[in-house]
Chains A and B, each alone.
Chain A
Amino acid sequence: MQVDDLESTGRHAEPVTARGAGLVACTRCTRVWPMGETRCARCGSELHSRDWRSLQRVWAWMIVGIVCYIPANIFPMLKTQVLFTHTESTIIEGAIELAQHGSYGIAFVILFASVAIPVGKFVAIGFLAWSVRRPERLHPHHRHRLYEVVEFIGRWSMIDVFVVAILAALVQLNFAASITPGPAAITFALSVIFTMLAAQSFDPRMIWDHDGRGPDNHLTSETP
């Protein structure tokens, strides 16, 4: 597949932005409207040239996500009963059990999806929101790449919740064996949902705003 960049001249120059041209872009459907329009007439989304209040939403969702993530690691995720023995395991204990049975690959998948991705996501979203006001910290290309990775990978944390759902539905064999979900399943699921909402609240256009062009308000003062 050939990729045809829209720009052919001035490849390394700063492109015109919708805001620079006195327009406000709809991030849902890519349509542009004159600055000052508040609702996209094509898809019905609210229009914001840059939504600075979105940063508050990012922080709010993220804090709720972190608050839910703590009990998710303390309380049991799975309660297993085989004959007369009863065991409870947290996310990390579950992964250790898998490793002890020799399933290193699966143990790694669980640790990666349930620990590395959520923690990495908190750090990455926090960094992105923080660096909007300190753009010199990392080139916009790298920050944008980071944002894309966070957006893509975040939902995969849900895997452990589905594993619990499948096991709890499947392993219901009276006294021979039964598995029931623990309270961590719900707090973990909520944590994933809240961090997804945090990532979705972030306006990636803010990553690019300061790109060698000084503070933000220099741009908004332009009038046609």
Chain B
Amino acid sequence: MAPMSDSSAATTLLPPGSLPLDELIACPQCDALFHARMPGRGQRTSCARCHTVLIAPRTNAYLRVIALALTIVILMVAAMFFPFLAVNVQGFTNKASILDTALAFLDGGFMATLAVLVAAFIVLIPLLRAALVIYVLAPLAAGRRPLPGARHMFRLSEDLRPWSMAEIFVIGCAVALVKVSDLARVEFGVAFWMFAALVVVIVFQDGIMCRWTIWKALDDTRNR
């Protein structure tokens, strides 16, 4: 079907019943309306008006996204049990784990709020998002019906996306190391490298996930 945009488009309405509503896609950024078509292999579809990428499917995407989400969970849990950074000043040493870092604000009274926020941004939210993605996609990958609440879980996962800040934290580590370099000697622990790898996996996973394909698969409202 021809894309539905020409110069008279602003006043022409779609003929009722010409296309089922679930075959349309509205750009979330500019409200332009299109007939949603699966693009060819390796191609993406973007909004003609504002160029937001709308559809970008990948082959075997479910399995790959699930594998990456599992990797995130494993790396995150493992990273909490290994030393993250160690500092050495004139014979005194101190080691800090990721949780120590997140909870650094705890002893400051009203700073406790900040401890909770930091822990959420760098550990809990990335972990929760990975778990939600597995919950949503595992049945789809197996060709089964989505688990109960899958649509709400996926929406939650998407809403939490800007609040997952693991990559910012890693850059923060680099800055912190420079800041203490004239005060102390700093050593990276195993957990630091796990966390750095985790960030790469998170960015890659977000990059290969096609939201439209997943929403389409979760949609049980097609007959409305």
A binding-site residues for B, Cβ under 8 Å: 1-11, 13-23, 25-34, 41-45, 82, 94, 98, 101, 103, 106, 109-110, 140-141, 144, 151, 155-156, 158-174, 176-177, 180-181, 185-186, 189, 193, 196, 200, 204-205, 207-209, 213, 219, 222, 224
Cα separation A31 to B34 with both chains bound (whole Å) = 11
How would you classify the secondary structure of chain A's contact residues: helix, strand, loop or mixed?
mixed
Smallest CB separation, B107 vs chain A (Å): 8
Cα separation A125 to B178 with both chains bound (whole Å) = 33
Pair B178/A222 contact, Cβ less than 8 Å: no
Cα separation A170 to B183 with both chains bound (whole Å) = 12
Pair A25/B33 contact, Cβ less than 8 Å: yes
Pair A11/B25 contact, Cβ less than 8 Å: no
* A32, A167, A204: the one within 8 Å of B33 (CB): A32
Given A6-B47, A106-B175, A140-B30, output 18 extra A-B contacts at Cβ < 8 Å.
A2-B43, A2-B44, A4-B46, A20-B10, A20-B13, A22-B13, A25-B33, A29-B211, A41-B224, A42-B215, A144-B29, A155-B168, A159-B172, A166-B101, A169-B100, A169-B103, A170-B85, A180-B108
Closest to B183 in A: A177
Q: Please name all residues of chain B whose beta carbon is closer than 8 Å to the beta carbon of A144 when the two chains form the complex.
A: 29-30, 50
Pair A170/B87 contact, Cβ less than 8 Å: yes
Are A13 and B9 also in contact (CB < 8 A) when A28-B28, A159-B175 are?
yes
* B7, B35, B96, B221: the one within 8 Å of A166 (CB): B96
User: B218 on the interface (CB 8 Å rule)?
Assistant: yes
Pair A171/B184 contact, Cβ less than 8 Å: yes
**Which of B67-75, B114-122, B197-205 lies at the interface?**
B114-122
Cα separation A213 to B8 with both chains bound (whole Å) = 12
Contact sample, A vs B, 18 pairs, CB 8 Å cutoff: A9-B6, A15-B32, A15-B33, A19-B31, A25-B26, A41-B221, A158-B168, A159-B171, A163-B179, A166-B104, A168-B105, A171-B180, A173-B89, A177-B184, A181-B105, A189-B114, A204-B30, A205-B30
